[in-house]
Amino acid sequence: MTRRALTLAEVNTLSGPEFVTHFGGVLEYSPQYAERAAAQRPFHTVEDVATAFSTAVQADDPEAQRRLIRAHPDLAGKAALAGELTAESTHEQASAGLDRLTPEEYAEFHRLNAAYHEKFDFPYVVCVRENTRDSIFEGARRRLAHTPDEEQRAALHEIGRIARLRVLDLIAEGGEA
């Protein structure tokens, strides 16, 4: 999370490995998407960079997409409590106050996470930076009514939102080409 934001010109001149090093955390434990995004250069806008990640995910097969969803941690789950999240996820969960839940709220997240894994075989994924603690809880309860296909689409949509914000964090403002 403490990487220096690069200009768009710098992003366009990174070697493939340097691009992956800089953007490898955009999609949770899935640097292969950074490799695919790098191949779409040159980028003309910051939004082009975010779109390159989205395009790479959407072009992948459904099972690979499910692996990407499964790579995301449970919100306020065991990994968070044990300090085992990526720097990006730690910062994002803290921004929504998920690191400061009451014991009752932790218990509810545990129940919701278990229900998600039981029904969908992957975690509840939401762009926490664009939500409040209350809307995250409400969204989890509401989305449990989805079919597996609907929830996979919803999770991928949220991953796209997460990725976009992470890309914006890594590129300096005014970084248009």
* DSSP codes joined into one string, 104-131: HHHHHHHHHHHHHHHHHSS-----GGGS
pLDDT at res. 83: 62
User: Exposed, middle or buried by CB within 10 Å (0-12, 13-18, 19+), for 21?
Assistant: middle
Q: Let me know whether 36 and 100 are in one domain.
A: no
Residues identified as active-site: 72
**Residue 54 CB-half CA count within 13 A:** 20
pTM of the model: 0.88
Is the pLDDT assigned to residue 138 strictly greater than 50? Answer: yes
Give the confidence band of 1 by pLDDT, cuts at 50, 70, 90: very low
Choose from 41-45, 89-93, 132-136 the range with maximum mean pLDDT: 41-45
Residue for token digits 């014991």?
A: 103
> What are 23's strand-pairing partners?
none
The backbone region for 41, taken as left when phi is positive above 0, alpha when psi lies in -120 to 50, beta otherwise, is beta
How many structural domains are present in the chain? 2
Q: Let me know whether 104 and 39 are in one domain.
A: no
Q: Let me know whether 98 and 144 are in one domain.
A: yes
Mean pLDDT across 132-156: 96
Is the pLDDT assigned to residue 174 strictly greater than 70? Answer: no
Poorest-confidence range of 79-93, 94-108, 120-134, 149-163? 79-93
Q: What is the domain-level CATH number for residue 86?
A: 1.10.3330.10
Mean pLDDT across 52-78: 91
User: Exposed, middle or buried by CB within 10 Å (0-12, 13-18, 19+), for 31?
Assistant: middle
Q: Let me know whether 142 and 96 are in one domain.
A: yes
